[in-house]
Amino acid sequence: MVDTTPRAREALEPGGVLAEAVPGFQPRLQQQVMAEAVADALEQAPSSLLVEAATGVGKTFAYLVPALLSGRRVVISTGTKTLQDQLFEKDLPVVCRALGVNPRLALLKGRSNYLCLYRLDLNAQESAGRGHQGVTLEALRRYGQLSDSGDLTQAEILAEDAPLWPQVTSTVDNCLGNECPSFNECFVVRARRRAQDADVIVVNHHLLLADLALKDEGFGELLPQVDAVIVDEAHQLPEIAGAFFGLAFGTRPLRDLGRDVTRELDRNAPDLVDLREPVSGLHDAVVALLNCTVGWPARAGWNEVAEAPGLGAALSGVDRALEFLESGLEAAAGRSPGLEQAHTRCGTLRQRLFEWTEDRPDTVAWVERFRQSLVLHRTPLDASRPLAESRAARPASWIFTSATLAVGDDFGHAARRLGLPADVRAEKLDSPFDFSRQACLLTPRHPLPNPNTGDYTRACIDWVWPLLVGNPGGGFFLFTSHRALQEAAALLRDRLPESRPLLVQGERPRAELLSRFRESGRAWLLGAHSFWEGVDIRGDALSVVIIDRLPFAAPNDPVLQARAAAIEAAGGSPFMEFQLPQAVLALKQGVGRLIRDTRDTGILALCDPRLTQKPYGRKFFASLPRFHESRDPQAALDFLQEARGCTGEERCA
């Protein structure tokens, strides 16, 4: 195969095919360097490559160009479904046209994104004539008849958190497979077939890891058939991997099972009245388990709650209820594919519960309590080993890229967590934006109170008040906890002038908050973790980012505690080896919201006094771009006003 490395770089240079074909395309040296590195990795399979590409590098084009020129079969995995859609619907077509190539492309999501025609029919029969839900189901039925993909995110009929969503999609547990009466029209099957025939397959990390962990998503294995895997937003992969290489047993699948059995009985076996008793017994067992866990924290280590009164008996009760239902379904399984599949689900859930109760020293057992459900987790202490083993079993070019992989210039932390060797090839590409002219880093002249004191949030607001009212555009106020966010919202509601709309995470859907923020141009959006990354807002609408604390993980998190104990037992320092690098990378994500374009200007305000009081503060500063710096909010605003008049092509002399 012809070496595509020179062609990849040339395509992105001034006068190259991208500059000619894409309006507004700006050649960037960093992008060309990345494309060359990716092309080299593709030529040298099996190989691994880490690339940190800061905001503005244009990493998407930098890996798409060499991937498409290589002619190899490639899987591209993104961090979110939103990025997945953008890559498939916008970026890939643009680059294909510019390069004059016509590969077969496929978009593949987890099965919970696809409308299930069988389960839609079940719900439609039950909801016939039932007001709004009946209208919604009819709209979904029409969408199912007209759509080629069945992707519910594109239908814009249901919100993703709508209670109806899981009822009209399938899971691995409740899918009937080739026994389904709608199998030939199944959107999951169609998506799988398109992916099997494609040259470039766009997935998300959840689906990639399901494939790596050999957990059937209804698509079969993709990775043994590909030459390269490109993982975008790779910093998210280790945490997601912990879930996929671990084990979970929850009450929601138990309730779903009982509901599905009842539906099957009503539809296909109304005479089997004796089966109603074990279904009711399963429901009662779930209620008993939830009653034992009332008042539990949202997340807790198993060792903290294992001795709760009645808990052992409640778990045994769930197992007995599943066994009773499984026994009853054994004779009834032949009456319908749904009852046969429910019989299999009973055995699967019992096995999952048994495996969860087994003591595994390389995992941490913990629980997650929601308002109406409970999940028992068993997470690997270190997901790097299964990641490395899975990758070794699938020889290919593995390329990991993100805007946040290095701590300073050191890739060691990211390499360890991804299961890559210490000497893996790594490229760090700084932003082409001129931060010293475009943005000001603001830190307090006089340190604020300790972040753990009760008056800290009020002190933060008092210090940044000139920014809150004097910023000519809008801004993000980012928090590391929902408690601090709500406290700040309460303090600001009556204090901010009416000309400064206040938007608060949790009060409206995320998409609506971002839409209102963009439209206002002068709003303040208060957000926690989900707003620290994956948000791209350019111009004056987002010209100030305030961060209340350094984003260290909550010290009482059970998985963090177990991992810290394991590092300490091995003679290491949990703080220096894990907690600090993780916080540095998280801060870089939050900082990345500010400057998104050569014309952007802004202020980054970091309130946390530990940045200047603690020796480890240097680690954070060393990982940030070279900002203009100030200790005075008004001076920062003066800088912003001046910078707004001298950016882009009209730089100050």
The pLDDT assigned to 128 comes to 61
**Helices 311-332 and 251-268 meet at what angle, rounded to 10?**
30
Q: Give the three-class secondary structure for 186.
A: coil
Quick check: 1 pLDDT over 50? no
The pLDDT assigned to 412 comes to 96
Confidence of residue 124 (pLDDT cuts 50, 70, 90): confident
Alpha-carbon Rg for the chain in angstroms: 27
Domain covering 5-103+199-244+385-429 in this structure, CATH number: 3.40.50.300
Q: What is the per-residue burial (b if ≥16 Cβ within 10 Å, else e) of 164-201?
A: bbebbbbbbbbbbeeebebbeebbbbebbebbeebbbb
* Lookup: tokens for 128: 């016939």
Mean pLDDT for the chain overall: 92
The pLDDT assigned to 219 comes to 52
Confidence of residue 586 (pLDDT cuts 50, 70, 90): very high
The pLDDT assigned to 160 comes to 79
Quick check: 129 pLDDT over 80? no
Pairing of strands 47-53, 397-402: parallel
Task: Tell me how crowded residue 506 is: count the other CB atoms within 10 A of its CB.
Answer: 15
The pLDDT assigned to 5 comes to 79
Q: What is the mean pLDDT of residues 100-117?
A: 94
Rounded alpha-carbon distances, angstroms, from residue 490 to 326, 362, 387, 466, 486: 52, 43, 44, 18, 6
Confidence of residue 123 (pLDDT cuts 50, 70, 90): confident
Q: What is the mean pLDDT of residues 322-347?
A: 93
Nearest CA among 113, 122, 176 for reference residue 150:
113
The pLDDT assigned to 652 comes to 38
Contact 4, 42 (CB under 8 A): yes
The pLDDT assigned to 94 comes to 96
The pLDDT assigned to 457 comes to 97
Q: Report pTM.
A: 0.92
Quick check: 648 pLDDT over 70? no
Quick check: 453 pLDDT over 50? yes
Architecture of domain 435-644: 3-Layer(aba) Sandwich (3.40)
Q: What is the per-residue burial (b if ≥16 Cβ within 10 Å, else e) of 416-425?
A: bbbbbeeebb
Confidence of residue 304 (pLDDT cuts 50, 70, 90): very high
The pLDDT assigned to 651 comes to 38
- The per-residue pLDDT for range 526-567, each reduced to its tens digit, is 999 989 998 999 999 999 999 999 999 998 999 999 999 999
Architecture of domain 247-380: Up-down Bundle (1.20)
Phi, psi of 503 (to 5 degrees): -115, 130
- The per-residue pLDDT for range 194-217, each reduced to its tens digit, is 998 999 999 999 989 988 876 555
The CB-based long-range contact list for 574-583 (8 Å cut-off, 24+ gap) reads 576/616, 577/413, 578/413, 579/552, 579/553, 580/407, 580/616, 580/619, 581/407, 581/413, 582/413, 582/552, 582/553, 583/550, 583/551, 583/552, 583/553, 583/620
The pLDDT assigned to 425 comes to 97
Quick check: 221 pLDDT over 80? no
- The per-residue pLDDT for range 16-63, each reduced to its tens digit, is 999 999 998 999 999 999 999 999 999 998 999 999 999 999 999 999
**Helices 117-126 and 131-146 meet at what angle, rounded to 10?**
150
Phi, psi of 519 (to 5 degrees): -65, -35
**Helices 205-212 and 384-392 meet at what angle, rounded to 10?**
70
Confidence of residue 443 (pLDDT cuts 50, 70, 90): very high
Question: Looking at this protein, which amino acid is placed at residue 645?
Answer: G
Q: Return d(Cα 573, Cα 579) in angstroms, integer.
A: 9
Q: Taking the domains of the chain in order of start, what are their residue ranges?
A: 5-103+199-244+385-429, 112-188, 247-380, 435-644
Q: What is the mean pLDDT of residues 293-308?
A: 95
Indicate the range of 97-101, 158-162, 291-295, 483-487 predicted with least confidence.
158-162
How many percent of the chain have pLDDT more than 70? 96
* Lookup: tokens for 613: 């009081």
- The per-residue pLDDT for range 495-525, each reduced to its tens digit, is 999 999 999 999 988 889 999 999 999 999 9
The pLDDT assigned to 650 comes to 41
Indicate the range of 255-264, 300-309, 352-361, 641-650 predicted with least confidence.
641-650
The pLDDT assigned to 243 comes to 87
Nearest CA among 12, 52, 24, 152 for reference residue 425:
52
- The per-residue pLDDT for range 130-182, each reduced to its tens digit, is 677 888 999 999 999 999 999 998 888 988 778 899 999 998 888 988 889 99
> Is the fold of 5-103+199-244+385-429 the same as that of 435-644?
yes
Indicate the range of 47-51, 171-175, 373-377, 624-628 predicted with least confidence.
171-175
